[in-house]
Each structure stands twice: as C-alpha cells, then as structure tokens.
C-alpha cells in the first residue's frame, strides 16, 4: 500500500482497461472505495471484479462523459454508495489514428469526449467536493497537450484544452481545498495503442521514441495519478505532470 486511502472514495472514468483500469485498481489497493466508469460495460464490470478479487470495494456505473445527465448520475452514484467523493481521475478519451480528424463528425466526437467530457466531470465532482471540504482531481491529457503532431489535429487540440481546464480549475478552487492537476502520458502500452504496435517493426520504432527505449506501462501513469491525489502532493495544483520516459526532452 503506497498510500493510505482508507475511508476515501475515488472515481475513475475510462476504467474498462488501460490507464483507467490501472488507476482504479491502484486506488483500491490503497484502501479507497472506487466508482469505476466507462461506456464499455463488460470491461468496466471486469475491472470491478478484479478489484473485488483482490479484496477491494468498487461499483460500476455506465457513463458517456459527453452527456451531462450521465455525468451527473455517475457522480451521484458515488455519493449514494459511500456518502462522499475525495478523488477523481477524469481519464476517458479517444484518439483516431486511422481517420481524418478534420472530418466534422470525428472532430465533434473528439471534442465532446476529450474536452467537454472533462469539463462536465470536473463541474460535478467539484460541486460534491466543495460540500465536504475539498478533494483532488486529476485529468488525463497527453504529451500532445504540451507539444503537437502533424497527424491528429482534434487529439492535439483537445488535449491542450485539458491542460487549460486543469489550470482553470486549480485557480478556481484552490482556496476551497480542491487541487486540480493533469497527467500527460507519452506512448503507453494500452488497448488504445495496441493497433499501433501490433506490427513488430512498428513496435521497434515506437519503443525507440523515448530515451528509455520502451513504451510506458499503464501502472506507471496510475502511480503518478495517486501521487497527485495524495498528501505528498499537498502543495501541487495546476500542474501537467509528464509521464513519458523522456520523450519531450529530446
């Protein structure tokens, strides 16, 4: 148990696999009760089952983060179940490696999930945290929220927006005891990146993109999320924490 989150309640979106699942499991391993959320019901329920098998406590709530009513119901479920909300990891997001992100439908969907979804979650989570004296929110951005690439205009724009929302939230709620930070992962080995690395030759290229010579693990991003939620980060807010194996310093 890296941190003692006993009696605390955490909410994680996009938790059917990858970074979200790793974070939900890590919160539970540190004693938190966890609201697991996703649109992939089978994957979300599997995450809950994994937590339960390890002796933790979790419930699943279906939620499309781009839908304000579903976000409100998700946060209410955590409060109904455990009476409070201490931590939130707004992790749900999409990318479109195989599609033109200048396509209207792709752009609108990316904006709705990656950016509007984070805003809706922050709004509802903060409302609950304000009533209980504070909390910690961590949003998932990307190294593409700090730099850019030529292939993914919607992804880059929305992830930059997440950093901006994070800084806004940090300032808005600083005196109310709510800290708002972001994690900015590099290339992480998750179901989302699996199609990119299925070919061994491409995997070699991707591994070579970081000075460490490998892709990151979802658990390594989860560790950063838990740190930002912990008392060890009590004077950190508004910060985009890069977890990229050195990719952005090359």
User: Which DSSP state fits 67?
Assistant: -
Dihedral sign, Cα of residue 189, residue 191, residue 195, residue 200 = positive
Phi, psi of 18, deg, nearest 5: 60, -140
Residue with tokens 């609201």: 35
Which of these, 186, 194, 193, 181, lies nearest to 228 by C-alpha position? 181
Task: With residue 90 as reference, give the H or E element that holds it.
Answer: strand 87-90
Alpha carbon of 58 to those of 28, 34, 49, 68, 133: distances in Å?
Answer: 8, 5, 8, 23, 23
Catalytic residues: 155
Q: How many angstroms separate the CA atoms of 45 and 14, rounded?
A: 12
Q: How many angstroms separate the CA atoms of 138 and 24, rounded?
A: 13
Provide the CA 41 distance to its chain's centre, in angstroms: 17
Which of these, 137, 185, 180, lies nearest to 159 by C-alpha position? 185
């Amino acid at each position: 148990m890296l941190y003692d989150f006993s009696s605390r309640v955490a909410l994680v979106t996009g938790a059917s696999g990858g970074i979200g699942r790793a974070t939900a499991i890590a919160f539970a391993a540190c004693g938190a009760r966890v609201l697991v959320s996703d649109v992939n019901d089978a994957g979300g329920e599997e995450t809950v089952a994994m937590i339960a098998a390890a002796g933790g406590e979790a419930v699943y709530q279906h939620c499309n983060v781009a839908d304000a009513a579903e976000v409100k119901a998700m946060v209410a479920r955590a409060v109904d179940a455990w009476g409070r909300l201490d931590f939130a990891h707004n992790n749900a997001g999409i990318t479109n490696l195989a599609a033109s992100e200048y396509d209207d439908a792709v752009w609108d969907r990316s904006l709705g999930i990656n950016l509007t979804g984070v805003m809706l979650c922050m709004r509802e989570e903060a409302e609950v945290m304000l009533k209980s004296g504070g909390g910690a929110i961590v949003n998932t951005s990307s190294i593409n929220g700090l730099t850019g690439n030529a292939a993914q205009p919607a992804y880059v724009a929305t992830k930059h927006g997440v950093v901006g929302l994070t800084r806004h939230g940090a300032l808005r709620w600083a005196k109310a005891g709510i800290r708002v930070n972001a994690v900015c992962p590099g290339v992480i080995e998750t179901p989302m990146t699996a199609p990119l690395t299925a070919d061994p030759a491409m995997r070699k290229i991707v591994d070579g993109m970081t000075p460490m010579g490998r892709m990151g693990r979802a658990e390594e991003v989860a560790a950063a999320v838990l740190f930002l939620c912990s008392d060890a980060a009590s004077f950190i807010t508004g910060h985009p924490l890069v977890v990229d194996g050195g990719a952005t310093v090359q």
